[in-house]
């Protein structure tokens, strides 16, 4: 089933994200995670893609396990950075052969081993290029990411939303937001994009806090702000890992409850391959 059909069912959408283990680790580790969280009956499970296209074969393999073994809809991330049209064609063929119907189309980060990477020399310079290319196949339901606090490379908030509309107009059927910790920012972002004519469904990206270093690193990468309430939690439990996790999970649950009361109907939980965390969240929401 294509994911836009799930959103169109008017049901509340809960979805999860997992990531492939490092190449030197057995792939069975993520299969164990999937086996544990599938009983929570998510609407779909997404699988991330490594920087510069690394782990791409594992992304497809894990997506196939989700779809064909676990019986849950899979959303395969696909980045276009460093990829030729031939590369993308091969990936699309492989996804089709595995009965994968849903793609989260992204530009992706440059390869870590190539300093001063030049996007202008790539066949796909932007996510919108990849989206348009996949749309022409008429085989996949396409989603993409959005940034409630603006992409860190954008010159302005206005241009960031204009580019988001370009991606939607190029063939996107649904959006998944980057993580955020201030619900007011997300609600205001929703109002802004709706005024521009972006009407497709959107899931709020929820990242449970496991430790302060994790959050500082993630917010630095994506530009998300840390509200005072969360800063107090990070400071209070910085040296108490167990209590930090409890407080972080509680914060995520509160976020979801508040957003539900604001008529947000889609939630995408970044699991960090921790089924215990996901179970606790779902039991409370």
Q: Which two tokens stand for residue 210?
A: 């496991």
Q: Where are the beta strands (DSSP E) in the chain?
A: 13-18, 44-47, 73-79, 102-106, 141-146, 174-177, 202-206, 266-270
DSSP 109: P
pLDDT, one tens digit for every residue, the chain (285 residues): 999 999 988 789 999 999 999 888 999 999 999 999 999 999 999 999 865 555 678 999 999 999 999 999 999 999 998 899 999 999 999 999 999 999 999 998 777 766 777 777 788 989 999 999 999 999 999 999 999 999 988 999 999 999 999 999 999 999 999 999 999 999 999 999 999 999 999 999 999 999 888 888 888 778 899 999 999 999 999 899 999 999 999 999 999 999 999 999 999 999 999 999 999 999 999
| Continuous segment of H or E residues that includes residue 6 | helix 3-7
Q: How far is CA 62 from the centre of its chain?
A: 16
Contacts of 73 (CB under 8 A, 6+ apart): 1, 3, 6, 43, 44, 45, 66, 67, 101, 102
Summarised one tens digit per residue, pLDDT across range 195-222 is: 999 999 999 999 999 988 888 888 877 8
Helix axes 157-169, 183-195, angle to 10 degrees: 60
CB-count burial class (<10 Å; 0-12, 13-18, 19+) for 83: buried
The total of structural domains in the chain comes to 1
Q: 277, 271 in Cβ contact below 8 A?
A: yes
Query: Any idea what the Cα angle at residue 196 is, between residues 190 and 202, rounded to 5°?
Result: 35
Per-residue model confidence (pLDDT) at position 254: 97
Query: What pLDDT does residue 54 have?
Result: 56
Q: Could you read off the pLDDT of 165-182 as tens digits, one per residue?
A: 999 999 999 999 999 999
- What is the model's pLDDT at position 185? 97
CA distances from 284 to 56, 263, 277 (A): 34, 18, 11
Domain that holds residue 171: 3-284
| Residue 50 confidence (pLDDT) | 64
CATH number for position 207: 3.20.20.220
Residues with a catalytic annotation lie at 17
């Amino acid at each position: 089933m294509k994911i836009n059909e799930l959103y169109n069912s008017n049901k509340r959408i809960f979805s999860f994200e997992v990531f492939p283990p490092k190449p030197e680790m057995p792939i069975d580790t993520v299969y164990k995670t999937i086996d544990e969280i599938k009983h929570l009956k998510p609407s779909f499970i997404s699988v991330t893609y490594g920087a510069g296209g690394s782990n791409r074969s594992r992304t497809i393999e894990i997506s196939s396990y989700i779809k064909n073994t676990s019986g849950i809809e899979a959303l395969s991330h696909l980045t276009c950075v460093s990829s030729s049209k031939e590369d993308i064609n091969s990936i699309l063929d492989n996804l089709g052969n595995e009965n994968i119907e849903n793609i989260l189309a992204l530009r992706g980060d440059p390869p870590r081993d190539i300093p001063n990477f030049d996007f202008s020399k790539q066949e796909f310079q932007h996510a919108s290029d990849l989206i348009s290319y996949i749309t022409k196949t008429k085989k996949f339901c396409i989603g993409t990411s959005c940034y409630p606090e603006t992409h860190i490379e954008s010159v302005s908030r206005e241009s960031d939303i204009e580019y988001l509309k370009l991606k939607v107009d190029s063939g996107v059927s649904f959006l998944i937001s980057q993580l955020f910790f201030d619900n007011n920012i997300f609600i205001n972002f929703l109002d802004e994009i709706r005024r521009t004519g972006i009407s497709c469904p959107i899931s709020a990206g929820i990242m449970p806090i496991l430790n302060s270093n994790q959050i500082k690193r993630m917010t630095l990468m994506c530009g998300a702000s840390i509200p005072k309430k969360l800063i107090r939690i990070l400071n209070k439990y910085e040296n108490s890992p167990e209590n930090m996790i409890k407080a972080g999970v509680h914060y995520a649950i509160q976020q979801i409850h508040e957003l539900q009361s604001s008529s947000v109907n889609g939630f995408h939980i970044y699991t960090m391959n921790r089924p215990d965390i996901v179970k606790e969240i779902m039991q409370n929401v």
